[in-house]
Amino acid sequence: MPAAPPSGGVPTLRDVDHVAVTVPDLDAAVSFFVEHFRGELVFHDGPFSGRGDEMTRRLNVAPEARCRLAMVRMGRHTNLELFEYEAAERREAPPRNSDVGGHHLALYVDDIEAAHAYVAAIPGVVVMDGPNGVAPDSPVAGQRWFYFLTPWGMQMELTSCPAGDFYAGLPGAGMAPPAAAWR
């Protein structure tokens, strides 16, 4: 049995380096984020494969899996790593938010109405109800938001706090606020 880790957390931990998602078509996903969300392609790499059970031991995928990846910088501080895998038993259906492993990527906008109109016009995107507000007594009062699905089914959210007080009050004061500009 492994020893318990020391208290105090991971030594030398400083920041979040990147968030990664698997997509069915790497080139289409890179184009989507670069064209519609002003992402900046940093690099492409691969294809990669392993010997024996190397891919399983390193990445928790089938031993015969092959992958390609790209890194896209989103705004000032977020690195979005996109993976495309070839694997015999790969699941095609993305998880819903209610599924274990469910997730979404949320981006901040100043004008939620203009952002909603733009996203609704992107071919293949499915926009959920919204823009939505929250109750005045909510911890996130003043926030407006909506979800949408990318053409391959990844869940995303656009959010806005036009009153500007969310990040100054609780609980928002404990969150990192959006940058003053995308770059």
Are 104 and 82 members of one domain? no
- Judgement on whether residues 127 and 169 belong to the same structural domain of the protein: yes
Tell me the average pLDDT of the chain. Answer: 88
Q: What is the pLDDT of residue 104?
A: 94
Look at residue 11 and tell me if it is in a domain: no
What is the rounded average pLDDT of the residues 128-139? 88
pLDDT at residue 124, as a whole number = 97
| Domain extent at residue 83 | 16-92
* pLDDT recorded at residue 14: 84
The count of domains in the chain is 2
The answer to the question of residue 166 being in a domain is yes
Look at residue 49 and tell me if it is in a domain. yes
Q: What is the CATH number of the domain that holds 160?
A: 3.10.180.10
On whether both 112 and 126 belong to a single domain, the answer is yes
Q: What confidence tens digit (pLDDT) does each residue in 4-46 have?
A: 777 778 888 888 899 999 999 999 999 999 999 999 999 999 8
Residue 165 binned pLDDT confidence (cut-offs 50, 70, 90):
low
Q: Give pLDDT, residue 6.
A: 75
180 within some domain: no
For the residues of the chain, what is the DSSP string, one character each? Answer: -PPPPPTTSSTT------EEEE-S-HHHHHHHHHHHH--EEEEEEEEE--STTHHHHHHSS-TT-EEEEEEEEETTTEEEEEEEEE-TT---SPPPTTSTT---EEEE-S-HHHHHHHHHTSTT-EE-S-SEE--TTSTTTT-EEEEEE-TT--EEEEEE-TTS-TTTSTTGGGSPPPPSS--
